[in-house]
């Protein structure tokens, strides 16, 4: 579990492939170059960028749906420890982003534009579930940017998760903050009678990602559930079959390659399911790592970050000679 959480935490660090610092589309979650975003919107004093006009329209219609966050602030010494949970009420099986900073005092408020360097920043996640034994996951916060620190936690069940964020300022002062979030039921699958537009494509990829992360969590358990593994693999396969219907954002000429990636995923995914059915969990873990390195990452780099064309910079995803 800690390997999965740490790898997710590292994904908070801005990608260097963009010409400008990337921003996240609040509707689909895609990281995009703000300089070339088709649409923008302002909400509660903050600017948001969108990769498609259709997603901008969804956001404007109900912005609170996409920027629901929980902010907790605690004064400590010469400033305030500020922690943000995004989203404040995540869906089960999705990522929960935590950002922490220590902001110096500015008059009667705090100056969040000039955060203080933190040391030994760590967050402890505690599952509060009457039906399961208490469990703690400790994750060291990773620098995100501008002395802001972040981590990710996977919302596994519809139970409250409490967190304790601890750090030490550059001056040696300890800071600590306690908060919680409660996941909600995952949204229902997209209706099959809707046109296969860009919004639906993002829904497919979100479901694909949720199932992949849930599968990773399951196989790291002390006693994995074969039925849960089979169910996740089956749902991933259902989403894989929808990939040929995708319309690509900007690199439409590469559609045949995208379709081939999806087709090439069928056999190794079936092999993963077969390993799970036999109870070979070490084999399932190895197969997941292989899929991550040889298929998922390569497809993500090529088609989700369009600007990454030269895959030779990522030798792990190059096809075998």
- 183: tokens are 């996941």
Residues 134 and 176 in one domain: yes
- 171: tokens are 């001056």
- 76: tokens are 């400590």
Please tell me whether the overall predicted TM-score, pTM, comes out greater than 0.75 for this model: no
- Residue matched to tokens 């298929």: 295
Residues 213 and 143 in one domain: no
Question: Per-residue pLDDT for the chain (321 aa), expressed as one digit of tens each?
Answer: 433 333 333 333 333 343 456 787 888 777 778 888 899 988 655 788 998 888 888 888 877 677 777 889 999 888 999 998 888 888 888 888 898 999 998 888 888 888 999 999 999 998 887 777 777 889 999 988 788 899 888 888 888 899 999 999 988 899 999 999 888 886 665 556 666 677 777 778 778 878 888 888 888 888 888 888 988 898 899 888 888 888 776 667 778 888 888 888 899 999 999 999 999 999 999 999 888 877 776 676 666 544 444 445 444 444 444
Pairing state between β 23-24 and 95-106: unpaired
Q: Is residue 267 part of a domain?
A: yes
Residues 210 and 152 in one domain: no
Q: Is residue 81 part of a domain?
A: yes
Residues 149 and 169 in one domain: yes
CA-closest candidate to residue 98, choices 177, 211, 32, 210: 177
Residues 23 and 115 in one domain: no
Residues 301 and 227 in one domain: yes
Residues 212 and 272 in one domain: yes
Q: Is residue 284 part of a domain?
A: yes
Residues 182 and 245 in one domain: no
Which of 67, 92, 110 finishes a domain?
67
The CATH number that applies at residue 313 is: 1.20.120
Residues 217 and 247 in one domain: yes
Domain that holds residue 115: 69-187
Domain total in the chain: 3
Q: Is residue 228 part of a domain?
A: yes
Residues 230 and 248 in one domain: yes
- 148: tokens are 């802001």
Q: Is residue 295 part of a domain?
A: yes
| Cα dihedral 109, 115, 120, 124 sign | positive
The CATH number that applies at residue 92 is: 2.60.40.1930
Q: Is residue 193 part of a domain?
A: no
Say if CB 302 and CB 280 are below 8 A apart.
Answer: no
Distance between CA 284 and CA 114 in Å, rounded?
46
CA-closest candidate to residue 308, choices 241, 243, 251: 251
Residues 182 and 75 in one domain: yes
Q: Is residue 192 part of a domain?
A: no
Query: What's residue 121's pLDDT?
Result: 93
């Amino acid at each position: 579990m800690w390997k999965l959480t740490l790898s997710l935490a590292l994904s908070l660090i801005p990608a260097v492939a963009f010409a400008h610092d990337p921003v996240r589309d609040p509707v689909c979650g895609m990281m995009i170059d703000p300089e070339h975003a088709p649409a923008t919107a302002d909400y509660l004093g903050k600017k948001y960028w969108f990769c498609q006009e259709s997603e901008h329209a969804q956001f404007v219609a109900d912005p609170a749906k996409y920027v629901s966050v929980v902010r907790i602030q605690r004064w400590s010494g010469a400033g305030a420890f500020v922690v943000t949970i995004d989203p404040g009420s995540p869906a089960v099986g999705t990522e929960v982003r935590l950002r922490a900073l220590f902001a110096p005092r500015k008059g009667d408020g705090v100056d969040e534009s000039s955060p203080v360097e933190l040391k030994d920043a760590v967050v402890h996640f505690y599952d509060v579930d009457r039906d399961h034994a208490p469990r703690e996951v400790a994750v060291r916060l990773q620098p995100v940017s501008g002395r802001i620190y972040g981590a990710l936690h996977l919302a596994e069940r519809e139970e409250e998760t409490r967190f304790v964020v601890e750090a030490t300022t550059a001056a040696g002062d300890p800071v600590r903050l306690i908060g919680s979030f409660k996941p909600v039921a995952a949204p229902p699958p997209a209706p099959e009678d809707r046109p296969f537009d860009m919004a639906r494509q993002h829904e497919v990829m979100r479901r694909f990602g949720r199932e992949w992360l849930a599968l990773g969590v399951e196989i790291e358990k002390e006693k994995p559930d074969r039925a849960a593994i089979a169910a996740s693999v089956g749902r991933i396969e259902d989403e894989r079959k929808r990939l040929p219907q995708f319309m690509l954002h900007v690199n439409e000429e590469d559609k045949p390659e995208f379709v081939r990636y999806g087709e090439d995923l069928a056999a190794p995914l079936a092999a993963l399911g077969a390993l799970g059915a036999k109870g070979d969990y070490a084999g399932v873990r190895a197969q997941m790592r292989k899929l991550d390195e040889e298929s998922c990452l390569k497809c993500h780099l090529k088609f989700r970050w369009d600007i990454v064309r030269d895959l030779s910079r990522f030798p792990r995803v190059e096809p075998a000679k």
